[in-house]
Structure formats: C-alpha cells, structure tokens
Structure 1
C-alpha cells in the first residue's frame, strides 16, 4: 500500500479526488468549517437518527452531490485523540475494504491533525487489511484498497509526511512479525527464522551471524542446549546487527525467545489449544520485525537482535525434571519443569549479550500463562531493574498504542527459586509465576541495564480472530527510535 499527504482544507474536501473519502469526525456535532455538501448530508443523517457521534460509529454515503469522491464513509472519533482516531479508521476501512475503491482520501475534521495521527492511520489500515496466505491458498482475495492520502494543510505537510513514514516502517515490521508467527511449526522452524534474518541482512544491510550447535557448545550454553536436545530440528542462535549510529555508540540489544514449537517437553502440555504453541516464538518474531522497522526508518542508532531458536520436544534425548544444567554464566539450574523452557534459552542469550557492552538490553518472550491471568491481552508485562529504562519503554508503549504495565521485582520473590541441588530451580510455585520467571532472568543481568517484556497475552489472539498480532514491534520500534534522539 501507498501512503501520502494531500493538501486541502476542511472546507474543500468535496473537491478532493479519490475513489472514496474517509471522513473522521471528532466532537459531538458537525464541524462548523466542514465542506458545505458534506456538512449538509451529515446533518441530515444525524437528524434522521442514521449517525451518532459515538466512537467507532460509521455512515456510508454514495454519490453525494457536490463531492468528487464517489464513496464517502463518515466515522466518529469522539475526542479526536489518536486512540479514538485509530478506532474510527479501523471502522471506516472495515466498511471500504469489501468494495471497489482503490484510492482513499482520509480527513480528520473537528480536531487538530498530528504526526501521531498519521502514524496511526498507516498502522491501523495495514492491520485491518492484513490477510495470512502462506499456507492458505483459499484465503479471501486482497482488498482493492491500494493507496491512502491523508488530507492536511500546507503548514502540516512535512510533519504529517514524517508520521506516515514512521508508520510505514512500523507496519512493515509488524507484518513481518505476524507472517513469521502465523506460520505453522513445520514451516517456521529455527532454520526458517535464521533464513529470514539472513534475508533481512541482504535487504537492509544488516550484519547477520547464525551460530550452529558446535558454536553454542563451544560457548558453554548448557541451558540453551538442554532445551534443544529433545528435538530433531537443529537449533540456531541468530545475531543480527543494524549499525545506524556512530561506531563508538553502545547498541540497544533485543533478545527474543525463539521456541518455534513448544510441547512442554517431558512436562507435556494438555492437547487442547497446543496448536497455538507455534506462537511461542513471538518474541523472536518481534525482534526481526523491529530490526526491519528500524532499518526502514534509517534510525541513527546501533541495534543488535539476538534470537536463541529451537523446539521444545519430548523424546528419549529430552531433558527431564530433576536434571541439572550449567548455563553460559556458570550458574547451575535444576530443571523442575521442562515447560519452563523459555527462560532457559533466554538466560544464555542474556549472558551472550554482555559482549556488546550495550546501552540497554530488553528481552521479549511469550513466557508465562501467569502474565495472561494478570494482564489479559491488553498490556504486556514489563519488568525492569532500571527505573529510567522502564519509564522509556512504558512511554514508547503509550505513544504507539502498544501498551505495557510495570510489574514488581521485589527480592522476596527470589526465594521461590531456591534449589537443594543447584544454584536455582527454573520455576517457583504457581503464585506470582510471571514475577518469579522474571526474577530467574534477572539473575543473569548483573552487568546489564535490563528489562523483560512478557508478551504471552499480547503476541497472539485466540478464537475466531486467531492469529499473531505483531506486538510489541510498535513499542520496541518507538523505544529504539527514542534512543536515536
């Protein structure tokens, strides 16, 4: 899709050339400066009870006299905030995508248009029009919508164009993350993730290195190796570097959990909904998506993506409850539950990240069902030992509408990880499960400014809308872009 600006005033919207006009209206009345033809028909619709200024409400009009666009969709946006604008755009695109329009002009009336609105248009429209096709030839035909022009004033044009460009970068990253995560486990293997990273390198000038089992063994990643040993699929340890900043600038490092299918191992999961464990590499997908978004944005920052990728399978060679393994850090771990495998691969990746002397490290993982119980699918769980880093990530989530919520890391939670046979167990009890998982990871971050995002509730949706969301690519991208400044 193509996104661009188009200079026009609210009073001149009737003359805007497009197949369709998506008019987003803020407030509780028809804006006084609106094009007369549009104001007249909208007032009549309100008086007839066909349209209400309720967030997300829509009205479809065909061949309005005095309006050049053949189709007009009016969508209500309450207070005109970016959040309300997103909801209105989603509703409006939903009306238009089944029709014949190709070129859509979008205008906001009754509120001031900003670069954040522009970004929201791109990300929201791209999300609404995404269709997974990789393994589904019978998927519905793509919507004809091919281009969106956001109407703005001449004075706004530069800022709005910049917002559109940021939105396009993020939307491309989100789509890559969704495409990876939506693929079934027999397609999206560790090798597939490695090849995707290599292709990113070719397309965007990233330096990509893929470590094989022998390399991982040499590094002493006993924890990562333990999870991978039950699967016939070869593990991959992926390192991708985007160098957009000064050579001397410390990089931001993102570490993504890459379990391409999680059976639970010997501590096997129930059969119901186990198919959704193909999404257990959502953290890895978000790292790849963020790398793409940051590269497309040409951000002046250095970024490293680290992805430990493998399957967690039950077999004669799989780890067993009670086994003790030695991590790359030298700390030993008693495996009390083989289904708590994500933290076992992340801990070695966090130790590996030390070599980059990073400005900050953020790990991203579909880590615990406990986080889903705590926060549902609205906000990702954020844990950090650094208040400034936590604040920056929360702010990035608010700006991108990819929300997170800070969770505690009190020392008392650490007691649950005590072991009689190793430096720590890999799980505590059920109570505070998301916190004890984060406390486990914290034991490997003494040399790092570190944060952990538990995206178990936000990386995908179940039910009729089953599929990957691409989160938290928007949050991560905004965080990285903020560090470039």
Structure 2
C-alpha cells in the first residue's frame, strides 16, 4: 500500500473515493463543505434529513457526479468531546472495510478540521494508517480459496493547508513502518505450530538480516546453549522433537560505543503445558505463546524501516513445550545460566524458564542500556487487566514510565503492577534457590518476581501480553500488540 500526503488545494484533488469525517454535531469541515457544494449539496440534504447519525464507526457511501471524486464516504467519529485515538481507529477501520469492497483504487482521507486532543494533526494520519492496514490484513495462506483481491493500492491524507508538511510526512512514514511491523507480528502469531517452529523463527531472523544492512543475526543452537549453561531454557525443549533456538538480532543505528536497548521475546511456538498438560479445550491457541517473540520481530521490522539513531538488540528464546519420555518433570531441578537453581513445580510455567536464561545472556554478552522482555506469560494477567491493557512490571521507575508514556502516545496502553519484595517469598523452595511458581495469588506479579532475580543489575521491565496479544472466538487471530508501544518507546529513546 502506498501512503502519501495530499498537498494540493481542494479544487485540484482527485480520487476514486474521498472519505469525509463527521462528528455527531454534523458540522461540515471545510473539505466536506467544498465536496458538498461540488456534488449538488447531497451531504447537506443528508444532514438535514438526519439520515446519517455520525456515531463512531458508522459510514454512508454515496455516488458522486463530480469529476474529482467518484465516491463520497461519510465516516462517523462520534461525539467530539469523546474523540480519541481508539475512536479514530474504529472509524477508519470501518471506513476502510467499506472502501475495500468497492472497486476503489485511490482513496483520500480528508482529515482537515479534525483535532485529536494531546496530539498534533500528524498523528491523525499515523493512527489512520495503522487502522487501514488492520482492515486490509488477510491471513489466508492455508486456504485453497483465497480472499478477493482488494483494488485499493494508494491512500492519501489531506490535513489542511496550514500544517507542517514534514511532520505529517514523518508520521506517515512511522505509521507505515508500524503497520508493517504489526502485520509481520500477526502473521507469525497466526502461523500453526507445525510450520512456525523455533527453527522457522531462526530462519526468519536470518532473512530479515539479509534484507536489511543495518541488522545482523546470530543463532545459538542447543549444543551451544548447553555449553554456556542455559539448562533452564533447554529444560523446556527437552520433551520436543523440535530443537530450541536462541536468536539474536542486532540493529546498529547509533554510535558504536552506545550500549544497546534490548528486547527479549518469549518464543514458545507451541505450549502443550509439557508433563503438566493443559486442558484440551482451546489448546490450539497455544500457538500464540510465541507472540512476545513475534512482537519483537515486528518491532525490529519497523525499526529497520525507520532507521532511528539507536542501537537495538533483539533476543528470542524459542522452544516448543511438549511431553514425552525425556520431558522435564514436576519436581526436577535445573541450573540456570546465572548459576541459580530452580525447582520446576509446574512445567506449564515454562515461559519464565526460557526468559531467565535469555535475560542473563543479554547481561553477560550485550551490556544493555535497558532491557524489556515481552511475553504471553500468565493467565492471571487476563484476569487482572482483561484484553485491553498490557501488564507492566519492572525494577526501574524511569524505564517503566517511558514504556507507559510510549503506550499512551501510541494508543497501545499498559498498566503498571507492583513488584514489592513481599511477593518474593511465594517463590521459596525447600530444595533449590527458588521454585518456578508462586501459587494462585498474584500470579502475574510472582512470575515477574521470578524474572526480576535474573535482572538485578539491569534497568529491566517486563510486559505481560497474555491478554492483548491475540483475540479468541469468531475473529480469532493475533493482534500485533505491543509493536506500536515498543516502536514508539525506541523512537523516543532515539530522540
């Protein structure tokens, strides 16, 4: 999809479909007024008859006799005092779903006259691109009957004549990159576990490096991990025919001496629970247990496209958690890369077992300026925060605030949970330095407490995306979160 800024005056613009936003007060913007006058006052007549209520997500498609625009699409934004990024995305998504079902090749979103509280006009274009991409995303790789090809191939944005063109063009660039990253994340998440294995992810990382000069990829196999002492990570893959992989992607956009900001992704490509076998119902959704890793792939895709002046290292701990005669058993004790020992009481609490070794590897080999791990870690996070908000915990207030602010700005929100020392006692073990579960109370917090023991010397934050990484039900699929938050966080760090 080609996105661009429409700089020409209204009378010089042309498109197959012009999208005109309206709030519920039905006051026409300058662009809507111009189109109305050039199309026989059709919009005014519709407003006067109250045929269009302009509620958020509502649309009305009109044919136009104008030579400039073949179609006019009215796009409802809801109440002006309730307008926010989520409303905008909902409305643009609905509008795009209408446009893609026509023979439209070029669409123009006339965003002039709209203001988004706490954002510049440029963000209207960026958020719109993310919503458009979401509406156009299709995953039909394994269907014999493919989705109908969409004719829409170019979208432009008219934001008025008194805007900063450079800011809007940068926003379009960022929106396009984030949309690409989100699409990569969705596709990796949606792939079945028999295709998207740890080895598949390793090969994907090599392809990304091959296609981007600023990125290099290194892959550690099980033999190398064993020689280093990553026995916690390897305990998860012990029962699987698929070998674990530790994938390292390095983006070097900053000075050679700058310490990297590190993203660590949980890449459990299928989680049966191991010997602590999960219930059969909805177990197919455990292919999404690598969405932390997928979001890191997506963020690196966006960063490679935007080329910010920052060094970023991505570490993916990829494994498959399966039961067989060699699988780790409840009660087994393993030694982590850090030297600390873990009594594994539940093999279904495996994400923390791969992440802890990845965190130690990052500290020992990459000297991080900061480190953020991303994981579909606990069902408890879904109980606490539902499916709208990512859980955030960490040992550094400034890093946590940076992530919270980036999430708010990118409309990809997180909420910080406490990480008090009192919770640590729930991990006490009679036989090892710690156990890998802390019981039902505060499950998200005790999981983070476990990880915190491997990040004591680092500025570290943990994102639990169990509730936000995918959607269940009829519209089942990966969401691409938290790529917008992570990309914004890194752009902010780059300055």
TM-score, structure 2 normalization: 0.94
User: Distance between the aligned counterparts of 1:396 and 1:294, measured in 2?
Assistant: 15
Which residue of 136, 139, 163 corresponds with 1:129?
Answer: 136
Q: Determine whether 1:94 maps to 2:131.
A: no
Alignment of 1:226-265 (within 5 A): 226-265=235-274
Deviations 1:87-117 (A, max 9, x none): 2211111111111101001112432461211
Tell which deviates more after alignment, 148-157 or 114-123: 148-157
Q: How does 1:365-404 map to 2 (within 5 A)?
A: 365-404=375-414
Counterpart-to-counterpart distance in 2, 1:441 and 1:118: 38
- 189, 202, 205: which one aligns with 2:210: 202
Query: For 1:312-337, what per-residue CA distance to the aligned partner results, in whole angstroms no more than 9, with x for missing partners?
Result: 00000000000000000111000000
For the residues of structure 1 that align with 2:168 and 2:394, how far apart are their CA atoms? 34
Deviation at 1:144, TM superposition (A): 1.5
Name 1:171's counterpart in structure 2. Answer: 179
The alignment partner of 1:19 has SS state of strand
Structure 2 residue aligned with 1:24: 21
Gaps of 5+ in 1: none
What's the counterpart of residue 47 of structure 2? 46
User: Contact 1:24 / 1:85 at 8 angstroms: preserved in 2?
Assistant: no
Looking at structure 2, the residues matched to 248 and 301 of structure 1 have their Cα atoms a distance apart, in angstroms, of 11
| Alignment-derived partner of residue 475 in structure 1 | 485
Q: Which residue matches 2:7?
A: 7
Secondary structure of the corresponding residue to residue 351 of structure 1 = helix
Q: In 1, distance between residues paired with 2:385 and 2:308?
A: 32
- Offset, 1:83: 3.3
Question: How far off is 1:43 after superposition?
Answer: 2.4
Which residue in 1 is equivalent to 2:308? 299
Contact 1:223 1:348 in 2 (8 A): yes
Deviations 1:14-48 (A, max 9, x none): 65211111112246232363434426322211222
Contact 2:111 2:124 in 1 (8 A): no
Contact 1:132 1:139 in 2 (8 A): no
> Using the alignment, how far apart are the partners of 2:63 and 2:175 within structure 1?
30
Q: Spell out the pairing of 1:442-461 with structure 2 (5 A cutoff).
A: 442-461=452-471
Deviation readout 1:260-282 (Å, 9 max, x if unpaired)? 00000000000000000000000
CA contact (8 A) 1:15 1:67 kept: no
Secondary structure (helix, strand or coil) at the match of 1:233 reads: coil
| Secondary structure of residue in 2 paired with 1:464 | coil
Q: Structure 1: how far apart are the matches of 2:494 and 2:396?
A: 19
How much has 1:384 moved relative to structure 2? 1.1
1:180 maps to 188
Q: Cα 1:351–1:414, aligned 2, differ >3 Å: closer, same or farther?
A: same
Distance in 2 between residues matched to 1:226 and 1:53, nearest whole Å: 56
Structure 2 distance, partners of 1:235, 1:36, is: 60
Residue equivalent to 1:76: 76
Task: Tell whether 2:149 aligns with 1:152.
Answer: no
**Alpha-carbon shift at residue 413 of structure 1 (Å):** 1.1
Give 2:291's aligned residue.
282
Identify which range, 210-219 or 106-115, moves more after superposition: 106-115
Structure 1 match to 2:232: 223
SS at match of 1:7: coil
Please tell me whether the aligned partners of residues 379 and 404 of structure 1 are also in contact (alpha carbons under 8 angstroms). Answer: yes
Check conservation: 2:111, 2:160, Cα contact below 8 A. Answer: no
RMSD: 1.5
In 2: Cα distance, 1:37 partner to 1:203 partner: 44
Distance 1:30 1:41 in 2: 14
Task: Compare 66-75 and 25-34 and name the one that shifted more.
Answer: 25-34
In structure 2, what is the equivalent of residue 190 of structure 1?
Answer: 198
Q: Name whichever of 267-276 and 65-74 sits farther off.
A: 65-74
Is 1:328 the counterpart of 2:337? The answer is: yes
- Residues 446 and 30 from structure 1, CA distance in 2 versus in 1: closer, same or farther, beyond 3 angstroms? same
**Is the CA contact (8 Å cut-off) linking 2:399 and 2:459 kept in structure 1?**
yes
* 2: CA distance, partners of 1:36 / 1:211: 61
Aligned-partner Cα distance in 1 for 2:476–2:273: 21
Q: 1:416 aligns with which of 426, 432, 446?
A: 426
Q: Higher mean Cα deviation, 79-88 or 335-344?
A: 79-88
Whole-Å separation in 2 of the counterparts to 1:341 and 1:32: 54
Whether the 8 Å contact between 1:30 and 1:42 is mirrored in structure 2 is no
Consecutive unaligned residues of structure 2, counting only runs of 5 or more, are: none
Check the 8 A contact 1:204/1:292 in 2, yes or no: no
Q: TM-score, normalised by structure 1?
A: 0.96
Partner of 1:110: 113
Aligned to 1:56: 57
